[in-house]
Amino acid sequence: MYDGHVGAVGSAAAAAVSAYPSYSEHHTGWPIDIGDGGGACSFEPCFADQPAATWASANAHRFGFVIRYPAGAEADTGYSFEPWHLRYVGVDAATEIHDQGITLEEFTTRHSPN
């Protein structure tokens, strides 16, 4: 997948939309990618307007998941908006991240002992 992005848009742009092989957060086992049954806007930013994404945006935190790469946070997360990519962080962390509209990076900084 990464090589396909590099071929299409170059390595710098590819890094914002696809992880280098073996560096994907998916290797940790914490994230999941979701979609609608019909496959509308799969792995595209327009997925944000699909029912599954709007539900996840409003409710995923109740089950301990966050939208890992939210819109407008590319400089913080290093990735483009991915409304389909949810990461489990636990209900307490997910609720704080959701309610305060922050990224996992901001949450981690706030709760760092240093």
Kindly list the residues in this chain that would bind Zn ion in the complex (CB under 5 A).
33, 85
Residue with Cβ nearer Zn ion (3 or 110): 3
Q: Are 107 and 97 in contact (CB under 8 A)?
A: yes
Q: How far apart are CA 57 and CA 66, in angstroms?
A: 8
In whole angstroms, the minimum distance from the beta carbon of 62 to Zn ion comes to 20
* Token duo for residue 41: 């806007």
* Token duo for residue 65: 């998941």
In whole angstroms, the minimum distance from the beta carbon of 114 to Zn ion comes to 29
- Which is the catalytic residue, given 25, 44, 74, 82? 82
Identify whether 82 is a catalytic site residue. Answer: yes
Residue with Cβ nearer Zn ion (15 or 110): 15
In whole angstroms, the minimum distance from the beta carbon of 91 to Zn ion comes to 21
Count other Cβ atoms within 10 Å, centred on residue 104: 21
Q: Is the alpha carbon torsion for 107, 111, 112, 114 positive or negative?
A: positive
By beta-carbon distance, which residue lies closest to Zn ion? 85
The catalytic site residues sit at: 82
